[in-house]
Amino acid sequence: MGIKVVKFGGSSLASAAQIAKAVAIVVADPDRRYLVASAPGKRDASDTKVTDLLYQAYDRRDGDYAYTLATIKQRYVDIAVELGVSVDLDTPFAEIERRLTDQPERDYFASRGEYLNSLIIAAYLGWTFIDAAEVVRFSDAGQFQPDQTDVLLGNALAQADHAVVPGFYGATASGQIKTFPRGGSDVTGALVARAAMAEVYENWTDVSGLLIADPRVVVDPLPIRRLSYTALRELTYLGASVLHENAIHPVRERGIPINIRNTNHPDDPGSWIQAQAPSTPSGPAIVGVAGKTGYTAVTVHKAQWSGTHGVGQLVFDLFEALNVVVDVALTGVDAWTFVVRTEALDALEQPFAESLSVLRPDKVEFQEDLALLGIISSGAVSRNTASLRLSQALADANIEVFADAYAGDLRIITLPAARHDDAIRAIYDALV
Ligand code: ASP
């Protein structure tokens, strides 16, 4: 029998009723032995996540934080009372309040959302509580330490048949709390799955897996049943937002599949992410499409560029020195185009064109307000067919493509940001 690690997101644990649903899912399968919990999320559209309330209390630490803190405490009191578990909430909240004035550390406050929810859930299930501060290790400078964490977590899990581990945070060797970026409980879930050598990492959320396109753009898009880690990483990088992008690497390393499931529809199979998604001879021509706006294209012209050795190195060194990530690079003959995040250029101390002057270009052009779309082909139709249909769909919708590039199964199209949604709809209609 393998071990299943289950991670529940904030909306799955937002209230006692949601926690009861999650727990019913957990106990339905004896292989589900380790649970990673988020902080309570939104109960409805107008609600505020506990993590956001904690940041708010922290920001108001010099004045009016009492109401926010009381609101947070009440959420946990309600959850505990409704679930009928008795946990001492007064002591941790007294400590939180003391530290707000005596020892204000932002990450510590943010982490309390996961910490308290996990305490309650562990008590409700009668499972061991493993504090992430003991097993998820960061360096003093705040760098996550994957190898140490793997050993610490592996040892702790080996001593507990069943355990609840709070997501999102860890600590330095001396106990200072550090958090992952927002949404980081997904990362903790992946770390626990890796350390437990799990058979599967079940990530329970409020949607039935990944969808072929963003449901805010396409009406009722089809779900993606199976996809590869690579495809997931590409879609997440380009804007799909179901799983934290750093949650893929730890499980991928050990070949543990990820199954994204819906707490509110536990019978839906969800999406399976694994090393090699089988190519589907029938079905949609694409695995998925995702996109992001906020890009600028920089085109550098210089006569006699191509054929000169070391030019590429020079340009990429420059981008690296300025901390600007290049998302698309197109090399022509004597003009090269680089697509980068606009905010990265805006953050530079001196105008980017001035930095480029070391290259002595003939001309530099900037095209702003662009979007990147990533389209992953499924193999159901030939690449030529898919490619033709896609180009035709964009032409029919009168969408001008600025740049077009392939890398493996991924096609990246750069187009005007204003046409981002239209393009996704056109592609979906033509290829799904
Ligand atoms: N509670 C944290 C957040 O809101 C982490 C998480 O839910 O994954 O970002």
Distance (Å) of CA 251 to CA 194, 258, 301: 5, 8, 43
C-beta separation of 356 from 364 below 8 A: yes
- Residue 280: per-residue pLDDT: 64
- Residue 278: per-residue pLDDT: 63
Give me the percent of the chain exceeding a pLDDT of 70.
Answer: 99
Q: What is the DSSP letter of 108?
A: H
Q: Where are the alpha helices (DSSP H) in 84-212?
A: 90-102, 106-125, 132-135, 146-158, 185-195
pTM for this model (two decimals):
0.89
Residue 307 clears pLDDT 90, i.e. is over it: no
| Distance in Å, CA 161 to ligand 1 centroid | 26
Site to probe by mutation for ligand 1, drawn from 106, 117, 185 as the one with most ligand atoms within 8 Å of Cβ, is: 185
| Distance in Å, CA 95 to ligand 1 centroid | 21
Which whole number is the average pLDDT over 396-414? Answer: 93
| Distance in Å, CA 168 to ligand 1 centroid | 6
> Which atom, in ligand 1's list, is nearest to the CA of 244?
8
Query: Which position has the higher pLDDT, 428 or 237?
Result: 428
> Which atom, in ligand 1's list, is nearest to the CA of 9?
7
Which whole number is the average pLDDT over 398-427? Answer: 95
**Distance between first and last Cα of the chain:** 38
Closest by CA to 153, choosing from 137, 129, 169, 171, is 137
Among protein residues, the one with the nearest Cα to ligand 1's atom 6 is: 183
Which whole number is the average pLDDT over 273-293? Answer: 85
Residue 90 clears pLDDT 70, i.e. is over it: yes
Residue 138 clears pLDDT 90, i.e. is over it: yes
Report residues whose beta carbon is within 6 angstroms of any ligand 1 atom. 10, 38-39, 49, 51, 113, 167-168, 182-186
Would you report the helix, strand and coil content of the chain in percent, each value rounded to 5?
40, 25, 35
- Residue 7: per-residue pLDDT: 98
Residue type at position 252: R
| Distance in Å, CA 358 to ligand 1 centroid | 43
CA triple 84-86-87, angle to 5 deg: 135
Average pLDDT score over the chain = 94
How many Cβ atoms are within 10 Å of 231's Cβ, its own excluded?
A: 23
| Distance in Å, CA 38 to ligand 1 centroid | 6
> Which atom, in ligand 1's list, is nearest to the CA of 185?
8
Distance CA 277, CA 309 (A): 39
Residue 383 clears pLDDT 80, i.e. is over it: yes
- Residue 272: per-residue pLDDT: 96
C-beta separation of 432 from 220 below 8 A: no
Site to probe by mutation for ligand 1, drawn from 8, 49, 243 as the one with most ligand atoms within 8 Å of Cβ, is: 49
- Residue 309: per-residue pLDDT: 83
Residue 122 clears pLDDT 70, i.e. is over it: yes
Site to probe by mutation for ligand 1, drawn from 54, 114, 118, 136 as the one with most ligand atoms within 8 Å of Cβ, is: 114
| Distance in Å, CA 252 to ligand 1 centroid | 22
Residue 155 clears pLDDT 70, i.e. is over it: yes
Which whole number is the average pLDDT over 208-222? Answer: 94
Give me the percent of the chain exceeding a pLDDT of 90.
Answer: 84
- Residue 305: per-residue pLDDT: 82
Query: Which position has the higher pLDDT, 305 or 355?
Result: 355
| Distance in Å, CA 207 to ligand 1 centroid | 16
Residue 424 clears pLDDT 90, i.e. is over it: yes
- Residue 277: per-residue pLDDT: 66
- Residue 279: per-residue pLDDT: 65
Query: Which position has the higher pLDDT, 385 or 295?
Result: 295
| CA dihedral for 156, 92, 82, 71, sign (positive or negative) | negative
Which whole number is the average pLDDT over 206-216? Answer: 93
Residue 86 clears pLDDT 80, i.e. is over it: yes
